[in-house]
Amino acid sequence: MAKKRDPDAPRRSTSAGRPARTRRRGDVLEQAIFDATLTELAEAGYGNVTMEGVAKRAHTSKTVLYRRWPNAAELILAALRHHLRPLFPGEPPDTGSLRGDVLALLHLIAERLQELDPPTVHGLLSTHSGDLGLSFLHARSDHLDTMATLFERAVLRGELAPRSIPPRIATLPIDLVRHDILFVHAAPDEEMLEEIVDTIFLPLARSRDSDSRADP
């Protein structure tokens, strides 16, 4: 039985004037796959991206894709994480107040959401569960680290007492933005972001009994 040819392997002979295809490996192959995935996403929409379609556009095989990603949803997520710039490249926003810092962070998240069309955002959040669905924004552990930095600054400025903020309260603003995207299918506007911070988050963060509100 003839051995099945690897579609990314070099060809031994070529017709006149046509250069031989060289094997694509590592970052070169991955970049071609990610580019093809994002093109498929833009043209077909989140729910219509298939491994077969991406493989055909990337001039590779479905086997090559399945060796790296178990399904199209995981491939789309990987391509977006590779393509999108970091939410913030260095330290979290530092505006001089806890309110300003949290609002600035939510603005960055809203801007990230606006880089993608609503059906893609909804597909990511509904197809993937927990941290995975939000990882194109920032991992949940990173959310906690970011909020911890904002709280430390607020304590140093005298805005908060030096106490522990329960994780559920710490990530509440980001969770509420995610909730709105999932059910409203649109990035929150300025009024909504201010309502999240002023009406819901800050009163909880500043409440005297915050220490007792721990996760079960």
| Mean predicted confidence (pLDDT) in 141-155 | 87
Question: With bands split at pLDDT 50, 70 and 90, how would you rate the model's confidence at 216?
Answer: very low
Question: With bands split at pLDDT 50, 70 and 90, how would you rate the model's confidence at 82?
Answer: confident
The answer to whether the beta carbons of residues 64 and 125 sit under 8 Å apart is no
Say how many domains are in the chain. Answer: 2
Domain housing 205: 98-212
Q: Are residues 106 and 200 in the same domain?
A: yes
Burial class (CB in 10 A: 0-12, 13-18, 19+), 136: buried
Task: Judge whether 4 lies within some domain.
Answer: no
| CA 19 to the chain's CA centroid | 39
Q: Of 121, 169, 113, 125, whose CA–CA distance to 144 is shortest?
A: 169
Give the model confidence (pLDDT) of 29-60 as tens digits.
999 999 999 999 989 888 899 999 999 999 99
Query: How far is the C-alpha of 102 from the C-alpha of 35, rounded, in Å?
Result: 33
Domain stops at, among 83, 108, 123: 83
What rounded mean pLDDT belongs to the chain? 79
Q: E strands, 72-170, where?
A: none
CATH number, domain of 46, equals: 1.10.10.60
| Mean predicted confidence (pLDDT) in 100-126 | 80
The answer to whether the beta carbons of residues 164 and 213 sit under 8 Å apart is no
Predicted pLDDT at 30: 94
Read off the tokens for 83: 């393509």
Task: Judge whether 152 lies within some domain.
Answer: yes
